[in-house]
Structure 1
């Protein structure tokens, strides 16, 4: 079963007036991992698609997605699959066996996609202008950066999978951040990047724990309270940062004008309100 939700872009002035219900309606990502289903959110932020597929012993096919306006989703798009569950299989011409934490890049024109096995597959897609080779990327093939410190509660390792230092893509840049024991903050100090939107997915979070995801303009911040396997759609004008009540890992994905990971505008702690 395929379900597609459409999210329209929201400007910062409009977002200032949102209450909690409206914030969650427009920016919260939840309920995308349902057994036997593919659930997608088609956003109007750089036409990014975020979603989930949980075969649960079945075979699920992703092909025609009406909002894309093409016969098959990858006719004019590239796509990344991240397995956040047990071992599973993704087939797109070639069969790819994916362990937890593996990322699979599928280039434009790869055809229909089939999900099977016991995996829980996180899906990310953006428009593409040319075809780059499909590739399965393991964590030891990713570029890594260690940032933060225990003293500031943000010691973490950033793993860059779909990234210029690892492979070529049209506009998707995707990675995973793992926090060290005792650290709770990710991406703090915060930043914005007006040329690219971003999507977060938090996982490996205990059922009784939560992440407080910070967003909004630096001087007009808001937050979402997220549980395991939930995330946030972050507009280009918004900060994106989070603090957890327990340990967690998160996947970040960007799409927009460039693939320059360092193209950001830092936000000082004095600016945040």
Structure 2
């Protein structure tokens, strides 16, 4: 498990592109036959990816956590972004996830394994895990059962559908929130006008991109913004003090997940366009 420390926003202003990418960009989450994880000190979130092919992969407690098993004091949300079906087993209970289906696994679940239903068409499983104070039921939510929220317009290049899975009015959790945003063809802007939420951090996973396309992800304090060039299936760690917005060279999808103090989805401090620099 890779470890990422938190950053002071004052120091952030002097970062080079190399340092920005090293601290905030996660490039190689999806490797065949293995589980990859990054532990960030921002609200102690773990961001992970797995591509099970022939054998099931187990989510294990690394030495970083100092626990007997991964979810001893944690909860997790799993999203299948692959074309092949995922099979996730949590303490003997099996769940099958099609593309863009989500599974919440609660605190105290001792053994979690990830597999592909068909090794010739492996699943790609993205997951985020945050600290938990109570044991809540494991639950699957298919994208067909998730409530779509249609937002934006073609005039502002941000016509999109937001699917909320793990949140106060959906799958219940302690603090983890997770959802997916899908763009209409020709729309490329996400989360603009920008906002911050100082009470929680956020992680973005950009996916369903063509190999030659990129997303310009903007971050930093509103008065000191920076950008990262992001390719397909790469993730961003976004600090609580940072905006998190982006524009792509073509349409794309992204998964957003949050952890922190406030469990209210609408807790956002919007930034006026003339305040961005």
* 1:8-157 mapped onto 2 (5 Å cutoff): 8-85=5-82, 86-93=84-91, 94-117=93-116, 118-157=122-161
Distance 2:48 2:11 in 1: 25
Distance 2:60 2:33 in 1: 16
Q: What 5-or-longer segments of structure 1 have no aligned partner? A: none
Distance 2:170 2:29 in 1: 28
Distance 2:144 2:96 in 1: 16
Check the 8 A contact 2:105/2:138 in 1, yes or no: yes
Q: Any idea what SS the aligned residue of 1:97 has?
A: strand
How far does residue 67 in structure 1 lie from its aligned partner after superposition? 1.5
- Residues 80-121 of structure 1, C-alpha deviations (whole Å, 9 max, x = no match): 111011112111121111111011000001112111112111
Distance 1:180 1:12 in 2: 34
Q: Any idea what SS the aligned residue of 1:22 has?
A: helix
Check the 8 A contact 1:200/1:253 in 2, yes or no: yes
- Residues 217-258 of structure 1, C-alpha deviations (whole Å, 9 max, x = no match): 001000110111002000000000111101110000000002
Structure 1 position 186 matched with structure 2 position 184: no
Q: Point out 4+ residue stretches in structure 1 off by more than 6 angstroms.
A: none
How far does residue 148 in structure 1 lie from its aligned partner after superposition? 1.2
Mean CA deviation greater in 135-144 or 169-178: 135-144
Check the 8 A contact 1:63/1:111 in 2, yes or no: no
Task: Give the structure 2 partner of residue 213 of structure 1.
Answer: 217
How far does residue 141 in structure 1 lie from its aligned partner after superposition? 2.3
Q: Any idea what SS the aligned residue of 1:122 has?
A: strand
Q: TM-score, normalised by structure 1?
A: 0.97
CA RMSD, Structure 1 to Structure 2 (Å): 0.8
Distance 2:137 2:62 in 1: 22
2:173 counterpart (166, 169, 182):
169
Q: Cα 1:167–1:59, aligned 2, differ >3 Å: closer, same or farther?
A: closer
Task: Give the structure 1 partner of residue 263 of structure 2.
Answer: 259
* 1:197-212 mapped onto 2 (5 Å cutoff): 197-212=201-216
How far does residue 28 in structure 1 lie from its aligned partner after superposition? 0.2
Check the 8 A contact 1:143/1:165 in 2, yes or no: no
Distance 1:190 1:225 in 2: 18
- Residues 180-239 of structure 1, C-alpha deviations (whole Å, 9 max, x = no match): 111000111000000000000000000010011110000100011011100200000000
Distance 1:81 1:60 in 2: 14
Structure 1 position 225 matched with structure 2 position 233: no
